[in-house]
Copies of this chain bind each other. A is one copy, B any other.
Amino acid sequence: MFVYYAHREPRAEGEAVPRPSSPILSADRIADAAIALVDAGKAFGVNALARELGVTPSSLYNHVEGRDAIVELMRGRLAVRAAISVPDGLAWDAVVAYVVRSQRAMFAEHPLVLPLLVGKPVTDVTVLGYYEALAEALLSAGFPDDEVLVIVAVLDAFALGSGLDLSAPPEVWQAEPGSALGRLVAGGEPGQVRADRAFDLGVDLLLASLRARLAGA
């Protein structure tokens, strides 16, 4: 739906030079600044972003189709920066673990960005590549066609939910002292550590069952 400018080509010798002599902005620079803004805990907004870039809000519209387009650019930049490439020769379950862990690591580095992305369609080609890698691994494992996509959805839901764990405040559950939950929260590890352990455990649990399912069929 949204189309934004591609990167500028390096200017040819003697080509007419507009002002400013070299452009201040680009789609990538805007996306990177937006990520930095949100990472810093500030509220995302076109005006705040322009301020951060030392530029007028309307300038951004030369490079980007508005607020929503910037958010989609952020998703793309995160994916490109994470640059997940699955090593060759891994067994299917190792591939699944690798991709899911990489995705979660990407979220973990920018936890505050994640809430901006939820509920929007995924069109970014890099992100789709991750799902493709998962699908191919599961197909090679021998899962039937009509199950593969369902399993990908399970893994995706878990990775997303685990990532959102990190964008919540350190103690998500403000439990009452008298409750079992309250006792466990008080006696247990801090929320961040627990979130990490929960992610690892969840991956283990899911993979164990998937292996069993494959063996049983």
Contact = CB atoms under 8 A, between A and B. Distances in A.
A145 B114 CA distance: 31
A164 B118 contact: yes
Contact of A157 (B121, B162, B209): B162
Determine how many copies of this chain the complex contains.
Answer: 2
15 contacts: A121-B169, A121-B172, A123-B174, A128-B181, A135-B179, A146-B188, A148-B184, A149-B181, A150-B198, A151-B198, A151-B201, A153-B195, A154-B201, A205-B209, A205-B210
Contact of A181 (B112, B135, B168, B199): B135
A109 B212 CA distance: 33
A171 interface: yes
Given A118-B118, A205-B205, A209-B208, A188 B154 contact: no
A48 interface: no
Counting contact residues on chain A (CB < 8 A from B), the size range is 35 or more
Interface string A186-217: 01110000110111011011101110110000
Given A131-B181, A156-B165, A206-B206, 10 more contacts: A119-B167, A120-B169, A122-B172, A132-B180, A148-B184, A151-B201, A152-B181, A154-B201, A159-B161, A160-B160
Nearest to A188: B149
A139 interface: yes
